[in-house]
Amino acid sequence: MKALVLTEYNHLEYMDVRKPHIGEEEVLIQVKACGICGSDIHGMDGSSGRRIPPVVMGHEAAGVIAEVGARVTGWQAGDQVTFDSTIYCGKCYYCRKGFINLCDNRRVLGVSTGEYRQNGAFAEYAAVPQHILFRLPAGLSFVRASLVEPVSIAFHAVERTPLHLNDTAVVVGSGMIGLFVIQALRLAGAGRIVAVDLDQSRLDQACTLGADLGLKSDAVDVVAEVQRLTEGRGADVSFEVVGIPPTVNLAVQCLRKGGALTLVGNLKPTAELPVQAIVTRELSLYGSCASKGEYPACLDMICRGAIDVDALISAVAPLSEGASWFHRLYRAEPGLMKVVLTP
Ligand SMILES: [Zn+2]
Ligand SMILES: [Zn+2]
């Protein structure tokens, strides 16, 4: 079969590889669409250490079941499916408590770390365990379905947050995930939603998708603006969807006393925090990782149009042209958001 292989750092090759062999509990999926994730872009140059070549990346996919393993039940060839990006074990302490995103034996499709290599879906076929499959609702296209993973990350982040009806929410970072967080907040009943970014076009898009106000953080005093909107108090909740020290601190500073910050971005491993402000203002900090069980709701909401994924798809292109799209995304070409590849 054909696959887009990261043969060495910064080098992707569209080449022939062996079709994956499926285990007894796995299905073979004929991939119809697979989105390029930010983590693939950051992994490609070796900086994250999570895409050690050779590896077939790709964990945001949808397709059709082509074959089923001997012990697969409830799924058959021809079923249209998507799947969780996380392969959880179902047996460890966390899985048994329902925290499948925190599984001790967690593997991510399309990732290779040195501890494991799990080839992903930038290929004609991918092998996937049956317990992470989800059926596509009737009428949902493969391309739209392939965006369920980033949508689920946003849903999970909003579900982690103690949000109440009519709360003011600040979202620092209006990239892909930030724009889905904004849409999820609107659905969850937030009152006022403030989007923050450096890029005006992203702020415009944020406002189209549900934010009330876009603040360009290098042009206005974001904290002062948020206070002005909230009778001097600050926001009830904030979301950090970048993961670098200045944006983490901004997300803290926007909060009212007793407010909550949910951290989703993690570009940098560490950031210095204003400990005294967090303690004396009694702020709560929540980390949010991947998702745990939000897929069916997200698929349904994408299918019904409650979540707009089309607005974030910049291009749908053949897998054979994947390498050049990867490099365009790597160079952070303006206006490029989600690129979906079709084998
Ligand atoms: Zn992803
Ligand atoms: Zn587990």
Distance 135 CA to ligand 2 centre (A): 22
294, with CB counted inside 10 A (0-12, 13-18, 19+), is buried
Q: How far is Cα 218 from Cα 198, in angstroms, rounded to an integer? A: 6
CA–centroid distance, residue 257 to ligand 1 (Å): 33
- Give residue 137 CA to ligand 2 midpoint distance, Å: 27
For ligand 2, the distance from its centroid to the CA atom of residue 142, given in whole angstroms, is: 28
Among all bound ligands, the one having the nearest atom to the CA of 147 is 1
Tokens 């084998």 correspond to 343
What's the 193 CA to ligand 1 centre distance in angstroms? 24
180: phi then psi, degrees, rounded to nearest 5 = -75, -35
pLDDT at 255 over 90: yes
Q: Which residues contact 39 (CB under 8 A, 6 or more apart)?
A: 48, 50
Residue count (the chain): 343
Q: How far is the CA of 176 from the centre of ligand 2 (A)?
A: 28
Give 221 Cα–ligand 1 centroid separation in angstroms. Answer: 32
Q: Share the mean pLDDT of the chain.
A: 97
Q: What is the reported pTM?
A: 0.96
Nearest 5 degrees, angle CA 118-CA 265-CA 197? 135
Centre of ligand 1 to C-alpha 38, Å, is 7
Count of C-beta atoms within a 10 Å radius of residue 120: 27
- Give yes or no for residue 314 having a pLDDT over 90: yes
Q: Which ligand is nearest to the CA of 103?
A: 2
The ligand that comes nearest to the alpha carbon of residue 87 is 2
Q: Which ligand is nearest to the CA of 92?
A: 2
- The SS3 assignment for 205 reads helix
- CB contact at 8 A, 325 and 174: no
Q: Residue 242 Cα, ligand 2 centroid: separation in angstroms?
A: 28
- Ligand number, closest to the Cα atom of 91: 2
Which ligand ends up closest to the CA of 85? 1
The alpha carbon of 208 and the centre of ligand 1 are apart by a number of angstroms equal to 23
Q: State yes or no: pLDDT of 153 exceeds 90.
A: yes
pLDDT per position as a tens digit, 198-222: 999 999 999 999 999 999 999 999 9
**Mean pLDDT for the stretch of residues 136-162:** 98
* CA angle in degrees (0–180, nearest 5) for 183-186-190: 140
Could you tell me if 317 and 342 are in contact, meaning their C-beta atoms sit under 8 angstroms apart? Answer: yes
- 296 CA → ligand 2 middle, Å: 20
pLDDT attached to residue 48: 85
CA of 256 to the centre of ligand 1 (A): 31
Name 218's Cβ contacts closer than 8 Å, sequence gap at least 6. 198
Q: How confident is the model over 165-196, as pLDDT tens digits?
A: 999 999 999 999 999 999 999 999 999 999 99
Q: How far is the CA of 98 from the centre of ligand 2 (A)?
A: 9
pLDDT tens track for 123-141: 999 999 999 999 999 999 9
Which pLDDT does position 47 carry in this prediction?
87
| Token reading at 315 | 């291009």
Joined together, the tokens standing for residue 121 give 């879906």
Per-residue pLDDT at 12: 97
| pLDDT band (50, 70, 90) for residue 295 | very high
**Distance in Å, CA 157 to ligand 2 centroid:** 21
**Ligand 2 geometric centre to CA of 290 (Å):** 14
The SS3 assignment for 220 reads coil
Residue 211: CA count within 13 A, CB half-sphere:
24
In this prediction, residues 266-272 reach a mean pLDDT of 91
Contact status, residue 160 vs residue 292, Cβ threshold 8 Å:
no
Complete DSSP assignment for 222-256? HHHHHHHHTTTS-EEEEEE-S-SHHHHHHHHHTEE
Task: Give the Å distance between the CA of 105 and the centre of ligand 2.
Answer: 5
What percentage of the chain reaches a pLDDT higher than 70? 100
User: What residues flank ion ligand 2 with Cβ within 5 A?
Assistant: 88-89, 92, 95, 103
Q: Which ligand is nearest to the CA of 102?
A: 2
pLDDT number for residue 267 = 86
Q: What pLDDT, on the 0 to 100 scale, is given for residue 42?
A: 87
